[in-house]
Amino acid sequence: MGDTISYFLMAWTDPSLLMLTAIGTLAGIYVGAIPGLSVTMATSILISFTFAWDVNDALALIVGVYCGGVYGGSRTAIMLNIPGAPSAVATSFDGYPLAQQGEAGRAIGLSTVMSVIGGLIGTIVLASIAPFLSDMALEFAPRDYFLIAVLGLLLVGSLAAESLSRGIFAAALGAVIGLVGLDPVTADQRFTMGSMQLMGGIHYVVVMIGMFGVAEAFFQLHQLNAVPVRQKVDKIIPSFKLVLKYLPLSIRTSIIGVVVGALPGTGGDIASLFAYDHAKRTVKNPSKPFGQGAYEGLVAPETANNAAVGGAYVPMLTLGMPGDAVTAIIIGALVIHGLNPGPMLMIQTPHIFWFTVGNLVLANIFLLIFGLTGIKIFAKVVELPKAILIPLILVLCVVGSYSLNSSMTEVYWMLGFGLLGYFMKIFRFQMGPVILGVILGPLMDTTYRQAMSSVGDNGSAFLLDLVTHPLSIILTTTVVLLLLSNTPLKRMIKRRNKTA
Amino acid sequence: MSQVQQLKAGERVFNGLLLLFSAGVFYEAFQISGFESLNSPGAFPIMISLIMLLTMISILWGQRHHPKPDTHGAFDEARQFLHEHFPLTIVVFSAMAIGYLALLQPLGFIIATALFLFVSQVYLRRGRFLASAIITVAATAIIYALFKLLFQVYLP
């Protein structure tokens, strides 16, 4: 017990670790907030120059960037309707309408406090029930991963778009974009049309920057002369009463976040959508209608995506499996430092586990401090006239896409996706499902084929598997119910019940 | 659920193009490995492209009763589409953006970015040369320091 506490407090008592966690968190907030920069990109770059550092120093910085970055993505989602990361897509549904109504300060303040609550709950769960959750995740079959990805796409399709058909079309389009390149198993070319440049695939960040950054920037040109909405930043710190009001919802959505985050391959993006859906379905009287600035629509995804950080660490530290893209990079960092991520990590180097837990708590405390104090500067940036902001956003988009491969090809792709995104926005197609499709498409392809291989390419056996295994039954039922709830069948049943 | 709302100018054409695109995606998916097996490299792409086709047909089918845009013929609809969504500001800014990308490598990141920021701000703000120049210098310096020096990102 004494050792555990000393491991836990390691980052709290060492000034250099304390400083690195603080710097990482602050940097993460701005990395997450600046369009074109992503936490994944930042952690990849961090690994490249921290591999010679002491492992604790490197992990302290990376944990800070990760926590700060997941939260930072919500800032641009609220202020600019440009989610800094896929996990902040759901935040923009109600966060941006709140900013348009002049409540950006309160929205960011509330999202900060809720992010910290979510982050702390995620860390508590990581520390207490990590072995249990990791055991559960071990039982998952490829078909379950496939079903979870299907569920994620259906959720984002039904939530973000004005009709399920539009949402599913956008998600499928994203999946096709994600599949471009060489098949990972057979190296067959898929959707490359013989182009050498397409064989390496299209990076999802390019699609994200194009569709969220460039398309939004061009859309903003329509309101160039509109009087900017003055962002209220005088009420940054939410009242205790307000926090208390949304505490039960934040606890519920934190649990959703941590559980979804703990599922390998699913991170804050799906967690936040699940949480948003949960809020939409369970909150009877939201502060405003969902999609028009409901605080509940802000609280749910923000607590869930930060809680998912703690959840994502569970399979990474106990099974050596990444919870999301960032933890996949952190696994690489651990290996570089001579550690063995997986079940043996907790046996051979228990200090790494408890150090990480302590570090996550510390990063969340810094998140609260920096999140509540840095809003005025950030809001000032957003208050810049659009004529200044739009060219700057475009430059950041160019830098972000170029830095992926140091190639202008990515920049032209980004511009192309920006144009497509602009047209899609005009004709009421949402960007969220496209991005999720790009990320989940390859995962669905892999897990589908693994599941199919496991039944000897027998379609009937595959379908039977979906309804004969306990976890698969739950997931299949959820998928079917979600589909049915978006069809006229639900309305017919309701009408019939009313008549009866 | 979707509400019956008036179609936008050009919406039917755009959705029609998306349907054609979906058909093209299906053709490309089929080219990967045909219907070889349920576990072939093309199996999942075929499924996804079929979903694209079916949802697009569903969207077009659902729109058949939607009120058409208030235009007189295809030419008028095209004119209204361009007027609504491609006003002069967007066309000029797009040209500047393309020019910026074209000049990035010949001129280098700093000069091309400064030039783009200055010219686009002067155009979008209808003048304000001094303020635009100050913002351009400050923004270019900050972006360069942040990305090149702090994040060590490669710049064009």
pLDDT tens digits, one per residue of A143-162: 887 887 787 677 666 655 66
Selected for mutation to probe chain B from A38, A43, A162, A179 (highest B CB count within 10 Å) is A179
Which of B28, B139, B154 is opposite residue A191, by nearest beta carbon?
B28
Which of A193, A423, A457 is opposite residue B39, by nearest beta carbon?
A457
Distance of CA B91 to the CA centre of its chain: 13
Average pLDDT of the segment spanning B62-74: 81
Confidence of residue B110 (pLDDT cuts 50, 70, 90): very high
User: Is A318 among the domain residues?
Assistant: yes
- Which residues in chain B have Cβ-Cβ distances shorter than 8 Å to A189? 32
Which of B58, B135, B156 is opposite residue A165, by nearest beta carbon?
B58
Determine, for residues A191 and B104 on separate chains, whether the beta-carbon distance falls below 8 Å: no
pLDDT tens digits, one per residue of A309-326: 998 888 777 766 666 667
Residue A323 amino acid letter: G
Selected for mutation to probe chain B from A65, A224, A398 (highest B CB count within 10 Å) is A398
Average pLDDT of the segment spanning A412-424: 91
Average pLDDT of the segment spanning A77-106: 81
In percent, the amount of chain B with pLDDT more than 90 equals: 51
Selected for mutation to probe chain B from A394, A436, A462 (highest B CB count within 10 Å) is A394
B123 vs B99: CA distance, rounded Å? 14
Q: Does B19 touch chain A (CB under 8 A)?
A: no
Determine, for residues B124 and A391 on separate chains, whether the beta-carbon distance falls below 8 Å: yes
Determine, for residues B38 and A222 on separate chains, whether the beta-carbon distance falls below 8 Å: no
Asked if the model's pLDDT at residue B103 lies above 70, the reply is yes
Amino acid A372: pLDDT = 86
Q: Looking at per-residue confidence, does A335 or B15 come out higher?
A: B15
Confidence of residue A121 (pLDDT cuts 50, 70, 90): very high
DSSP letter for each residue of B17-54? HHHHHHHHHHHHHHHHHTTS-TTSTTHHHHHHHHHHHH
Helix axes A39-50, A55-79, angle to 10 degrees: 160
User: Is A485 among the domain residues?
Assistant: no
Amino acid B133: pLDDT = 94
Average pLDDT of the segment spanning A183-208: 85
* Residue in chain B lying closest to A385 (CA): B125
Helix axes A470-485, A459-466, angle to 10 degrees: 90
Structure tokens belonging to residue A352: 């790494």
B114 vs B139: CA distance, rounded Å? 8
pTM value is 0.72
Amino acid A129: pLDDT = 75
Domain containing A6 equals 2-466
In degrees and rounded to multiples of 5, residue A190 shows phi and psi of -125, 120
Determine, for residues A179 and B120 on separate chains, whether the beta-carbon distance falls below 8 Å: no
Determine, for residues B59 and A444 on separate chains, whether the beta-carbon distance falls below 8 Å: no
Chain B residues 72-131 within an 8 A CB cutoff of chain A:
85, 87, 89-90, 93-94, 97-98, 100-101, 104-105, 113, 116-117, 120-121, 124-125
Residue A394 amino acid letter: L
Lowest mean pLDDT of A12-16, A35-39, A99-103, A435-439, name the range. A35-39
Confidence of residue B82 (pLDDT cuts 50, 70, 90): confident
Query: Is residue A316 within 8 Å of residue A323, measured between CB atoms?
Result: yes
Confidence of residue A498 (pLDDT cuts 50, 70, 90): low
In degrees and rounded to multiples of 5, residue A399 shows phi and psi of -60, -45
Query: Is residue A118 within 8 Å of residue A254, measured between CB atoms?
Result: yes
A207 vs A192: CA distance, rounded Å? 16
Query: Is residue A269 within 8 Å of residue A151, measured between CB atoms?
Result: no
B55 vs A306: CA distance, rounded Å? 34
Domain count, chain A: 1
Amino acid A175: pLDDT = 92
Looking at CA atoms only, how far is residue B58 from chain A in angstroms? 7
Determine, for residues A441 and B48 on separate chains, whether the beta-carbon distance falls below 8 Å: yes
Q: Does A37 touch chain B (CB under 8 A)?
A: yes
Closest CA to A436 of A194, A175, A256, A180: A175
Looking at CA atoms only, how far is residue A101 from chain B in angstroms? 25
Q: Does A453 touch chain B (CB under 8 A)?
A: yes
Chain A residues 102-161 within an 8 A CB cutoff of chain B:
none
pLDDT tens digits, one per residue of A430-443: 777 787 788 778 87
Query: Is residue B42 within 8 Å of residue B54, measured between CB atoms?
Result: no
DSSP one-letter code for A201: -
Chain B residues 64-83 within an 8 A CB cutoff of chain A:
none
* Residue in chain A lying closest to B55 (CA): A165
A354 vs A126: CA distance, rounded Å? 10
Q: Which of A33-37, A88-92, A295-299, B152-156 has the highest mean pLDDT?
A: A295-299
Instruction: Give the H or E element holding residue A12.
Output: helix A10-13
Confidence of residue B63 (pLDDT cuts 50, 70, 90): confident
Helices within A80-103 (DSSP H only): 89-100
Determine, for residues A394 and B97 on separate chains, whether the beta-carbon distance falls below 8 Å: yes
- Which residues in chain A have Cβ-Cβ distances shorter than 8 Å to B42? 188, 190
The domain limits of chain B are 11-72, 88-150
Confidence of residue B56 (pLDDT cuts 50, 70, 90): very high
Asked if the model's pLDDT at residue B25 lies above 90, the reply is yes
- Which residues in chain B have Cβ-Cβ distances shorter than 8 Å to A457? 37-39
User: Is A419 among the domain residues?
Assistant: yes
Note whether ipTM > 0.85 here: yes
The mean pLDDT value of chain A amounts to 82
Residue A229's CB is within 10 A of a number of other CB atoms, namely 14
Selected for mutation to probe chain A from B46, B82, B151, B155 (highest A CB count within 10 Å) is B151
* Residue in chain A lying closest to B48 (CA): A172
Which of A168, A427, A449 is opposite residue B39, by nearest beta carbon?
A449
Chain A residues 367-396 within an 8 A CB cutoff of chain B:
385-388, 390-392, 394-396
